Structure 1
Amino acid sequence: MNQRSKDQFSSLNNIISDINSIQKQNKNTSQMKQQTFETSPTQKKLNRIKKQEINYHSLVDLKQFSKSRNVILPNYEPTKCSQNYNGLIKAYAANTNQGIIRNYNEDRVSIILNIIKPQHRQEETWPKCAFFGVYDGHGGSTCADFLRDNLHQYVTKQKEFPWNPVAAIKKGFEMAEKDFLQQALQQYDKGKQERSGSCALITLVVGDYCYVANVGDCRAILSLEKGKKLMELSIDHKPEIEYERIQKNGGKIYQTHLINENGIQIVGPHRVFPGRLSVSRAFGDIEAKFEQFGGNHNVVIAQPDIQIFRITQDNDFIVMGCDGIFDKMKSEEVIKKIWTELQSQKNNLNLHGQISSAVDSVLKEVVHRKSSDNITLLIIAFNELIVQSNTPQSKINAISNQIELLQTFLKNKINDENSPDFNIKRQSPINQLFNKGEIKQLPQKQRQDATINRIRSSFQF
């Protein structure tokens, strides 16, 4: 627990005392008004929800809540944030909460800062790599738990990683989906109905390149030029967005229509059949994908959309959030809210604390807007945001230049593998040295170049 949290908890009794005092003063003046409204069904429901929200863990930031928003987060836990820089990642912070309606949380977050090389690849010189994931579960938390614990390994253990991250992500996602569905099927065979599924949004930093991959309706946004610009890095995979693909593959889209107690028609979200899901891409959801359960594996899929950019001084931070955030706030509003909080924290010289406060401010705003879902937010900062550091900018990993060459190489795919130039590359003297085991005798720079050439030549086109 950091010092800020200790100070907040130490003043908890004073806060509660202040609340009781205010409530006592207002009790007499509001008594008649309360008696008038408490008899209505709506007020009874609100009172019931209010009682469920009372939890003294959520009073940590109560002074800040009461200044602007009358918001209480059930089972609130302090936002987790970084303590030190990690390569080009200057700071990060994340929090997930059940929200004000649900009494459970199916969202999960994973942060892996130092990806370890496999033992059989110790001779390779890897760039600095980091992995961030937000997983929005549904129908239970089993699938989200599986992805939190394993998806980064499926990606980073591919032979293409880290030299061809796009291929590694696609293959890793495919293998993770296959293995989880197999586990779910085994549970069915044991008489346990494992119906859970999960959306997944990851940010993979390799050297000074950033890869954002999305399956489902979580969202990633990039803030640029001190908040003057933003870029959405993901597509919300909603049934209405992927209407043509779903119809083409034998699926259907529908909406539910209900009449509430006041006689007003309520239209539900678009859903996809089979699966009855409000997302068109997700991991898991065995009943939507296996024919024996009436599913169709071509309708709800786990294939990611991937965006790539190079981290520069113009990149401020990435925001990663579940749909519980973006159902109530537009992308522009989230970025604006974060920058407003960062400006209010300008006297706080700790970037990690600034980011942590920004996460909290968005969660509070979403709850104030009555989000009915679990809420999760993660911010990854690439630069000092408000207070500029006097320390020199971190030098980009030297191997990033090699990554850029490989990116260009992979984009310009060689169609004719029998061309003389291609064969020369495969049979270059440096590769022959590698095959003969003489590579270790070369100087470090040549060993590094040889390693990269070997990996490059091993790709299948």
Structure 2
Amino acid sequence: MNYRSKNHFSSLNDLFSEFNSNKKLNENTPQQKQQEIDSSPIPKKMARLKKQEINYHSLVDLNQINKGIEVVLPNYEPTKCSQNNNGLIKAYAANTNQGIIRTYNEDRVSIILNIIKPQHRASETWPKCAFFGVYDGHGGSACADFLRDNLHQYVTRQSEFPWNPVAAIKKGFEMAEKDFLSQAIESYSKGTQERSGSCALISLVVGDYCYVANVGDCRAILSLEKGKKIMELSVDHKPEIEYERIKRNGGKIYQTHLINENGTQIIGPYRVFPGRLSVSRAFGDIEAKLEQFGGNQKVVIAQPDIQIFRITQDSDFIVIGCDGIFDKMKSEEVIKKIWAELEQQRNTNNLHGQISAAVDSVLKEVVLRKSSDNITLLIVAFNELVKSQQTSQSKINSISNQIELLQAFLKNKINDENQPELNQKKQSPITKFFNQAERKHFSQKENYDAMFNKIRSSNNF
């Protein structure tokens, strides 16, 4: 999500209208939303200025998408993934990209696998802890950068951590919000208008429990029982969802209705006032919160919703994504897409690579659905998900075949010894499988056992 770009969607809508006039979109394609802070039509001069802010290099990509050609995202970097497991965390992978329209990326990701204890608590015995965060910035990247670099420390340095993670999260979020607003005020005093903000969604693993805390419209989903069940671990903090709270605290929500240059009516998202944001909870956003800037600190808040679950054998993985993902895909679709990619990657027999490929697969799907936002996805796996059965099954078959051959040979060997005249007339194919030198080793029962153990050990059976 980006504050500045959300005020420049008229030209974006024109772009999609042009595509729609050339090719009818599938009925299942989500309708493109127009977002604007004004309720009045945009003057043509202003519209031309706004068109200059579109990344024209991406327009070729959008045409390619319409024709079904695979597109490489601008400034794409390979998905980062784990190399080894870490306790209950078997693997993780994450990627963030500016998307196909914007020329900048204000999303951030934080991964801390081993929480370091403060020196004054070094003698304490802590459970294994890990921290994952996705931060969706708007109005600049300063707030998202601040959260990426510091939010985990605000939480884990609370005296309640790790024995009362819920209290530590609440206090840590409150302190982080307070300190960033203080920095923004200081910036204003120096002549720099620091108006950025950020949504935040974290997953904090403490022992075998996972705490998911959300501020804003990022989303977390848990896959269970090999994808048979899913559980949404967060609620999107949208103005229309929190209407009662906003109204009770002196705020308002509104929705714009515009007519673009092509005469098409565009209905924008719900926004909250003060702040003009399309989310009802966020860090930062000084102009929405402080009275000296016309804000109301009780309307747009940074108070998290917290969900808790225990990591068990049924817990597959958790997905954390920004709204750029879920504006175009439902939670069920994301989980289904991930499992489909995991099945395709089954023969790689590498969970880290499988998760990485799944992240890329979702990002590509979102691009095909023409997401206009920054896109960020993080997957954390708690169990082995899919394994290649080909190698292990062929290995088992090989072992079984050799054991059967050995047993058949031993049986025939005993019969041959008891009936030498029959052996001279006919040799079984199994007997021919072993040469003369090998047969000599089977004259004694202990040698039978030795050969059997040799076959078994050679196949790690």
Q: Contact 1:138–1:197 at 8 Å: present in 2 too?
A: yes
Secondary structure (helix, strand or coil) at the match of 1:347 reads helix
Secondary structure (helix, strand or coil) at the match of 1:220 reads strand
| Deviation (angstroms), 1:68 | 7.2
- 1:127 and 2:133 aligned: no
Q: Residue 438 of structure 1 aligns with which residue? A: none
Q: Residue 226 of structure 2 aligns with which residue? A: 226
* CA deviation map 1:369-417 (0-9, x unaligned): 0000000000000000001899xxxxxxxxxxxxxxxxxxxxxxxxxxx
Q: Counterpart amino acid of 2:248?
A: K
Q: Counterpart amino acid of 1:165?
A: P
| Deviation (angstroms), 1:260 | 1.4
Q: Residue 51 of structure 1 aligns with which residue? A: 57
* CA deviation map 1:195-253 (0-9, x unaligned): 00000000000000000000000000000000000000000000000000000000000
Q: Residue 244 of structure 2 aligns with which residue? A: 244
- 1:265 and 2:271 aligned: no
Q: Counterpart amino acid of 1:323?
A: D
**Change in 2 beyond 3 A, CA 1:66/1:116:** farther
2 CA distance for matches of 1:354 and 1:322?
A: 21
- Show structure 1 runs of 4+ deviating over 4 A: 65-69
Q: Contact 2:289–2:298 at 8 Å: present in 1 too?
A: yes
**Change in 2 beyond 3 A, CA 1:67/1:382:** farther
Percent of residue pairs identical: 83
2 CA distance for matches of 1:360 and 1:101?
A: 18
Secondary structure (helix, strand or coil) at the match of 1:247 reads helix
Q: Contact 2:347–2:388 at 8 Å: present in 1 too?
A: no
Q: Contact 2:316–2:382 at 8 Å: present in 1 too?
A: yes
Q: Residue 278 of structure 1 aligns with which residue? A: 278
**Change in 2 beyond 3 A, CA 1:386/1:127:** same
Which residues of 2 match residues 334-413 of structure 1 at below 5 A? Answer: 334-387=334-387
Secondary structure (helix, strand or coil) at the match of 1:364 reads helix
Q: Residue 11 of structure 2 aligns with which residue? A: none
Q: Counterpart amino acid of 1:71?
A: V
Q: Residue 212 of structure 2 aligns with which residue? A: 212
Which residues of 2 match residues 306-345 of structure 1 at below 5 A? Answer: 306-345=306-345
| Deviation (angstroms), 1:257 | 1.3
Q: Counterpart amino acid of 1:303?
A: Q
* CA deviation map 1:317-374 (0-9, x unaligned): 0000000000000000000000000000010111000000000000000000000000
Secondary structure (helix, strand or coil) at the match of 2:185 reads helix
| Deviation (angstroms), 1:312 | 0.1
Q: Contact 1:151–1:173 at 8 Å: present in 2 too?
A: yes
Secondary structure (helix, strand or coil) at the match of 1:355 reads helix
Q: Counterpart amino acid of 1:146?
A: F
| Deviation (angstroms), 1:67 | 12
2 CA distance for matches of 1:225 and 1:75?
A: 36
Q: Residue 103 of structure 1 aligns with which residue? A: 103
1 CA distance for matches of 2:164 and 2:67?
A: 49
2 CA distance for matches of 1:254 and 1:49?
A: 29
Q: Contact 2:199–2:216 at 8 Å: present in 1 too?
A: yes
* CA deviation map 1:413-458 (0-9, x unaligned): xxxxxxxxxxxxxxxxxxxxxxxxxxxxxxxxxxxxxxxxxxxxxx
**Change in 2 beyond 3 A, CA 1:368/1:50:** farther
Q: Residue 454 of structure 2 aligns with which residue? A: none
**Change in 2 beyond 3 A, CA 1:208/1:359:** same
Q: Counterpart amino acid of 2:381?
A: A
Q: Contact 1:53–1:72 at 8 Å: present in 2 too?
A: no
2 CA distance for matches of 1:219 and 1:190?
A: 36
Q: Contact 1:53–1:73 at 8 Å: present in 2 too?
A: no
Q: Counterpart amino acid of 1:83?
A: Q
| Deviation (angstroms), 1:72 | 2.3
* CA deviation map 1:64-122 (0-9, x unaligned): x9997522211100000000000100000000000001000000000000001111111
2 CA distance for matches of 1:166 and 1:125?
A: 19
2 CA distance for matches of 1:262 and 1:66?
A: 21
1 CA distance for matches of 2:300 and 2:262?
A: 35
Aligned residues: 342
2 CA distance for matches of 1:273 and 1:66?
A: 37
2 CA distance for matches of 1:320 and 1:75?
A: 22
1 CA distance for matches of 2:74 and 2:384?
A: 32
Q: Residue 455 of structure 1 aligns with which residue? A: none
Q: Residue 169 of structure 2 aligns with which residue? A: 169
Secondary structure (helix, strand or coil) at the match of 2:324 reads helix
Q: Residue 148 of structure 1 aligns with which residue? A: 148
Q: Counterpart amino acid of 1:85?
A: N
1 CA distance for matches of 2:189 and 2:56?
A: 42
| Deviation (angstroms), 1:304 | 0.1
| Deviation (angstroms), 1:263 | 1.0
2 CA distance for matches of 1:67 and 1:101?
A: 17
**Change in 2 beyond 3 A, CA 1:370/1:66:** closer
Q: Contact 1:69–1:368 at 8 Å: present in 2 too?
A: no
2 CA distance for matches of 1:69 and 1:216?
A: 34
2 CA distance for matches of 1:194 and 1:117?
A: 33
Q: Contact 2:272–2:279 at 8 Å: present in 1 too?
A: yes
Long gaps (5+) in structure 2: 1-21, 23-50, 392-461
* CA deviation map 1:254-300 (0-9, x unaligned): 01111012211101000000000000000000000000111000000
Secondary structure (helix, strand or coil) at the match of 2:348 reads coil
Q: Residue 416 of structure 1 aligns with which residue? A: none
TM-score between the two structures when normalised by the length of structure 2 = 0.71
Q: Counterpart amino acid of 1:336?
A: K
Which residues of 2 match residues 434-449 of structure 1 at below 5 A? Answer: none
**Change in 2 beyond 3 A, CA 1:298/1:208:** same
Q: Residue 300 of structure 2 aligns with which residue? A: 300
* CA deviation map 1:169-197 (0-9, x unaligned): 00000000000000000000111100000
Q: Residue 458 of structure 1 aligns with which residue? A: none
1 CA distance for matches of 2:145 and 2:225?
A: 36
Q: Residue 70 of structure 1 aligns with which residue? A: 70
1 CA distance for matches of 2:77 and 2:129?
A: 28
Q: Contact 1:316–1:381 at 8 Å: present in 2 too?
A: yes
